[in-house]
């Protein structure tokens, strides 16, 4: 049985529910998820029981998403968002989602994480991600406070001979 699959339009409302439960947002991702489904459907994944989702984008070589030159030089998968419903966190859902996205494209990952989110940082580190820079003024909270994020990436994989 496939534990992660690509999302489609029928997953839209559940993705928004997971987003709200995971990040206590007021639906701010609705437009982003809808646009992602239209423009890059191969980069949106859901857990087979709809317990979590992942948004990702394929980024071409030398594109400098975070203006941190030490993070680029090769194509990579930019992971926009990973969310697992709180009832299912700590059960490997996030790990499977990330692994599926990276396997889909056969490229290393790059992401930005809230530096206070120790659980997410631990998950990303377990998958080989390491801090490589800072994204200034990247996140904002419910009060409107804007703060920096940690940019993390996996080492560039060498092609198999």
CATH code, domain with 10? 3.40.630.30
Q: With respect to residue 160, please indicate whether it lies within any of the assigned structural domains.
A: no
Q: With respect to residue 159, please indicate whether it lies within any of the assigned structural domains.
A: no
| C-alpha closest to that of 98 among 62, 147, 53, 136 | 53
Q: With respect to residue 61, please indicate whether it lies within any of the assigned structural domains.
A: yes
Q: With respect to residue 109, please indicate whether it lies within any of the assigned structural domains.
A: yes
Task: List Cα–Cα distances, 137 to 2, 8, 104, 108, 158, in angstroms.
Answer: 38, 32, 30, 24, 33
Q: With respect to residue 84, please indicate whether it lies within any of the assigned structural domains.
A: yes
Give the residue numbers spanning the domain of 144.
4-153
123: pLDDT strictly greater than 90 = yes
pLDDT single digits (tens) 23-38: 765 545 666 677 767 7
pLDDT at 161: 47
158: pLDDT strictly greater than 60 = no
Average pLDDT over residues 111-131: 92
Split into its structural domains, the chain has a count of 1
Q: With respect to residue 161, please indicate whether it lies within any of the assigned structural domains.
A: no
Strand partners, 44: 55
Please report how the helices 12-23 and 30-39 are oriented relative to each other, as an axis angle in degrees rounded to 10: 140
């Amino acid at each position: 049985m496939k534990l992660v699959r690509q999302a489609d339009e029928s997953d839209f409302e559940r993705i928004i529910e997971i987003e709200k439960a995971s990040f206590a947002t007021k639906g701010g991702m609705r437009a982003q998820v809808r646009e992602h489904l239209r423009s890059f459907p191969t980069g949106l994944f859901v857990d087979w029981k709809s317990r979590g989702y992942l948004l990702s984008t394929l980024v071409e070589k030398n594109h400098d998403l975070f203006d941190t030159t030490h993070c680029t030089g090769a194509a990579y998968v930019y992971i926009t968002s990973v969310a697992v419903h709180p009832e299912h966190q700590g059960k490997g859902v996030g790990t499977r989602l990330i692994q599926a996205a990276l396997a889909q494209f056969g490229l290393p990952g790059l992401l930005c994480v809230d530096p206070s989110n120790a659980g997410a940082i631990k998950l990303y580190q377990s998958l080989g991600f390491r801090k490589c820079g800072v994204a200034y003024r990247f996140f904002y909270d419910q009060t409107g406070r804007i703060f920096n994020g940690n940019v993390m990436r996996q080492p560039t994989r060498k092609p198999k001979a």
